[in-house]
Structure 1
Amino acid sequence: MRTQVIEGSIAALRRLYVFPDVAAKLETLLRDRARAGAYNRITSAKALADQLTNDLQSVSHDKHMRMRHSAKPVPDDPPLNAPPSDANKADMRRMARQLNAGFVKVERLDGNIGYLRLDYFLHGDDVGPRAAAAMTLLATTDALILDLRQNHGGDPATVALIVSYLYDAYAEVHINDIYDRPTDSTRQFWTLSALPGPRYADKPVYVLTSGQTFSGGEECAYDLQTLKRATLIGEVTGGGANAGGPVKVGTHFSLFVPTGRAVNPVTKTNWEGVGVKPDIATTAAQAFDTAYLQALRAQRKRITAQDAPHLSREIDQALRTLSRTP
C-alpha cells in the first residue's frame, strides 16, 4: 500500500504539478523518507494520508496539496479535459442544491445596506438563478457587504460571474488568468456583458475576509481589491491560489494536485502562500460590525432627514445599536 501510494504520487506530481521544479524536489523528499523507513511504522491509512500531506506541504508550501484516504476504492481518473461524467454532473447538482449553490444569506440591513454571505462559488445550472435572485433583492440597497469569511472556494468562472454584477454591462474588465500546466494554456476571465438579474455597479462594496477564506474566496477578494472595486475588511486569508483536482494515486488514496496557478492581470502574481491582506485589518468576528459601521457612516453623510425621514431614522438607530456593541 505505501509503495503504491508513494510511486503513484511521484508519477502524478511529475506529470501534472504546475511547478515541475518543485515536483522534482517532492520526488526526492518522498524517496528519501521512504528509504529511511519513515512510513513503515504507520498502520492507519488516514495517518499515512495525513503524514504524506504534511511532508508534501513542508516542501511545496502549497495548501491545496493534500492526500486523502477513501474507505471506498477511488475511481480511475478521467482522460485529460474529458467532460464530467453523468454521475459527476449528478453529484455536482446534488451538492449545489444542498448548499443552495453557496448562497447562504441575502438580507437588507437597516440603513438600506445589502448583505450577501457566499460560502462557495459552485458551478452548475443552479448558480445563475440564485445569483439573479440574490442580486434582485439587493438591487435597491445603497451599499453591499459581501461576506466571504467562510468561503472555501469553487469555480473561477463563478467568481467571474459574481464580480461581473459589480460592473456595468458595457465594462470590459480583465479579472483573472489561470495557467494550466497539462495543456500549457492560459484561460482568461473577463466581466460578462450578459447576466441574469440586475447589476450593482457604482455602489460601495465591502468584502469580509478571515483566515478561513480560501482559494476561490481569496480570488474574489483579491480581484476586487486589485481592481479597486471593494474595500476588504477582516483578516489575512488562507493563501491558496493554485487550481487543480484530485488524482488517484492508490486503490484507496487520492492526491489533490494543483495543475494551474492564478495570474492576476494587475499584479502579475497571486496570493499563494501569503494570503490576501485586508485594507482594514480586524478580527473575523469584528469584520461585519466594522464594515456595517463604515457603510452607515457613508449613508449618514448622504441621506438627510428631510429627503428620507424613515431611512434617516433607520440609519440613526443602527448607528446607536452598533455603538452599544462591545
Structure 2
Amino acid sequence: MNSYLKCALSALLLVLSNNSMSSVTEYTDNAQPVINESSEPLSRSEKSTLIDKTLTVFEENYIDTGAIDRVTTLIRQQHERGRYRSVSTLNDFAEVIGNDFKLFADDLHLSLSVKRADEPVTHILSEQQGKLTYNRAFETVSYLHGNTGYLKFNKFYSADDAWDVADAAFTFLQNSDGLIIDMRDTVGGSPYLAQLMLSYFIAPDTPLWSVVGRDQSVSQRSVALTSSDHTRFQSDYPVWILTSQQTASASELFAGVMQAQGKAVLVGEQTAGAGFYVGARKITEKLIFRISLSKPILAVTNTNWEKSGLTPDVATERVDALDVAIALSLNQ
C-alpha cells in the first residue's frame, strides 16, 4: 500500500467516524465534574451538617482505609479554623471542600458535584465538546516512516460505538510493522474499552487485572477478549506507548498491562498515579461524592500504580517522546 493511499484511508477513517456528540467518562480522568448551577445559600449550621454527612460517606466507602483518619482530621481542622467561612453555596461547598478531599487524600479521583434532585446518582463525568468527544476521542490514525503505525486518542470513551471506532483504527493499522500509541494526553475513561483494545495485543483469556475492594476481596477478574477483528498484533509485534504526567487512570491501566505483559515499551514521563476505580455515593439529594471504591491489580506484577504511577522504560520529556519512539522504531 503506497503512502498516498494510506493517508487517504486514514483521513477517510476519521471523517466517517467523526461524531461531535458529548461524552461521559466511566472510569476516571483529571477533569473537574460539571457542576449544575446551585446558588442556594448555606447557613453555618447547614454547612456543618453537610461536612459531617460528607465525612460519614467518606469513612464508610473510601478504598484507602489507611488515609481515612488523616483526611477526616484535616477536613475538620479546616472547618474549625474558619477556612471554609467563605463557602456560602452548595456549589462553593462542592468545589472548595471537594478539592480539599482530593488534596488531603492525594487522590485525583475524589470530587464533589451538585445535581438536581430529580437527576440520577452517577460517577460519570460530562465533557464539553472537543478532543475528548470528537470521533469518540480518537484523534489520529496514520502511518509514519518505516511502515510504523501511529495512533493517538485522548480518552477511553465509554459509549458502545467507541468500540467500533477502535476496531476501525486497528483494522487500518494491521499492515504496519510496529505501532506507536500516543497516550500523552489520554486522561482515562472506560476500563471496558481498555480491555477491548488490550485484546488486540494479548491472546484471548489471558488474565489482565483483578479488582480488589477495601476488604481485599476480589470482585472482578478481567481477561483478554476474543472479539478483536484480527490477531496481527499478538506476536512479535513492537509497540511503543508515549506517556506523560497527564496519562492517568484507565490510560495507566492499559499502559501498565501492556508493559507488564511485555507487549510494549513505555517512552516518556512518569504517569499520573491515579490507580483506583471510582463510583458515586449520595450525600444529599443534591450533593454527590465521586469516590474511589476499589482498585485494579495487574495480573503479571500483582501491583497497583496509585500515587506512584508507571515508570517509563525510556525516560524522556513528553515533548520529545514521539521523536524518541520514532528513532527506536527505525532501529528495530
Identity %: 27
- Whether 1:261 and 2:295 are equivalent positions in the alignment is yes
TM score, norm. by length of structure 1: 0.77
- Whether 1:195 and 2:240 are equivalent positions in the alignment is no
Unaligned 5+ runs, structure 2: 1-41
Task: Show CA shifts across 1:113-172 (max 9, x none).
Answer: 10111211122320222122111100000000011111111121211111110134xx43
- Whether 1:122 and 2:122 are equivalent positions in the alignment is no
| Contact 1:33–1:39 (Cα < 8 Å) also in 2 | yes
- Whether 1:212 and 2:257 are equivalent positions in the alignment is no
How far the C-alpha of 1:29 sits from its partner, in A, is: 2.7
- Whether 1:283 and 2:322 are equivalent positions in the alignment is no
Task: Show CA shifts across 1:240-278 (max 9, x none).
Answer: 001113434356543320011121122222111111111
Task: Show CA shifts across 1:76-112 (max 9, x none).
Answer: 537xxxxx9xxx8xx89x9999432232211112321
| Contact 1:236–1:275 (Cα < 8 Å) also in 2 | yes
Counterpart of 1:214 in structure 2: which amino acid?
A
How far the C-alpha of 1:54 sits from its partner, in A, is: 4.0
1:106 maps to 141
Moved more, 171-180 or 224-233: 171-180
Task: Show CA shifts across 1:273-320 (max 9, x none).
Answer: 11111111111111111101111122xxxxxxxxxxxxxxxxxxxxxx
Greater Rg over alpha carbons, structure: 1
Counterpart of 1:67 in structure 2: which amino acid?
L
- Whether 1:18 and 2:52 are equivalent positions in the alignment is no
Counterpart of 1:255 in structure 2: which amino acid?
F
Moved more, 230-239 or 28-37: 28-37
- Whether 1:294 and 2:328 are equivalent positions in the alignment is yes
Counterpart of 1:31 in structure 2: which amino acid?
R
| Contact 2:201–2:231 (Cα < 8 Å) also in 1 | no
Which is helix-richer, 1 or 2?
1
Counterpart of 1:174 in structure 2: which amino acid?
P
Between the aligned partners of 1:105 and 1:4, the Cα distance in structure 2 is 49
Between the aligned partners of 1:216 and 1:227, the Cα distance in structure 2 is 16
- Whether 1:162 and 2:197 are equivalent positions in the alignment is yes
Between the aligned partners of 2:132 and 2:328, the Cα distance in structure 1 is 34
Between the aligned partners of 1:178 and 1:290, the Cα distance in structure 2 is 34
Residue of structure 2 aligned with 1:66, choices 111, 116, 120: 111
Counterpart of 2:255 in structure 1: which amino acid?
A
How far the C-alpha of 1:228 sits from its partner, in A, is: 1.2
Counterpart of 1:179 in structure 2: which amino acid?
V
How far the C-alpha of 1:46 sits from its partner, in A, is: 5.2
* Structure 2 residue matching 1:188: 3-state secondary structure: strand
Counterpart of 1:152 in structure 2: which amino acid?
V
1:301 maps to none
- Whether 1:51 and 2:100 are equivalent positions in the alignment is no
Counterpart of 1:165 in structure 2: which amino acid?
Y
Unaligned 5+ runs, structure 1: 79-83, 299-326
Moved more, 171-180 or 284-293: 171-180
